[in-house]
Amino acid sequence: MAGLFTKLHGIMEFPWAYSALTRLSGTAAGRKVFLRDLAGIPPGSRVLEIGCGPGTNVGYFPAGIAYTGCDVNPDYIRAAAEKYGDKGTFLCFSVEDLPEKHLGEFDVVLSLSVLHHLDDQQCRALAAGAAMAVRSGGLFLAWEPCWREGQSWLDRFMLSIDRGRHVRTAAGYAELLSGYFPGLETEFLMTPKMIWPQSGCVMRARKK
């Protein structure tokens, strides 16, 4: 069984497979709801998305967004640039390199379902780079699947076979991020539109 999931995870490295699964599972629809209705990103914002995948999220933002997306997977970035190059800029590098990239200042730095793919050191590198990239008064926003008390057996099972091997509790994520974003706030949010239940936590902080 473990070998089967390993093969499925490997297939997800292809942009077409990633896009198909996020559509079929309802993940893409849930992210659309989150970005359009729940995230609170003002129209016209300059947005950096860390871990943008094949770029699908760029179509879910409010009008007038100036968008930059980055991801470590070069196939994702090629697919994003080909399909959405007229809507944003797409860059390929790892989160460890983010603090050295000096991409400028953004109104919003966003990370959706990325931290649970990263070990603690990589999470801290992402947080350090995000803290450098967000302007004073700007918003850091992350949304991650998480463990929590009372979640259903199906929720726990699906998280246990997730491609990301570092699913944490909300407190676990906050411990890694709060040193870079004092005043970080967390709230639980079940992923909208998914065909199975998925517990999630939203983390927000305004840069002082």
> What is the separation of C-alpha 166 from the centre of its chain, rounded to a whole number of angstroms?
14
Structural domain boundaries, residue 47: 2-206
- Between CA 107 and CA 109 the distance in angstroms is 7
| pLDDT digits 0-9 by tens, 94-147 | 999 998 888 999 999 999 999 999 999 999 999 999 999 999 999 999 999 999
205 by DSSP, 3-state: which?
Answer: strand
Domain with residue 59: its CATH number is 3.40.50.150
**Residue-level pLDDT at 188:** 96
Residue 13's pLDDT band (cuts 50, 70, 90): confident
Distances (CA, A) of 21 to 63, 121, 164: 27, 28, 15
State the total domains in the chain.
1
Helix (H) or strand (E) holding 83: helix 74-84
Those residues with Cβ within 8 angstroms of residue 37's Cβ, 6 or more apart along the chain or in another chain:
none
Per the listing, tokens 């709060």 go with 178
| pLDDT digits 0-9 by tens, 173-197 | 999 999 999 999 999 999 999 999 9
**Residue-level pLDDT at 81:** 97
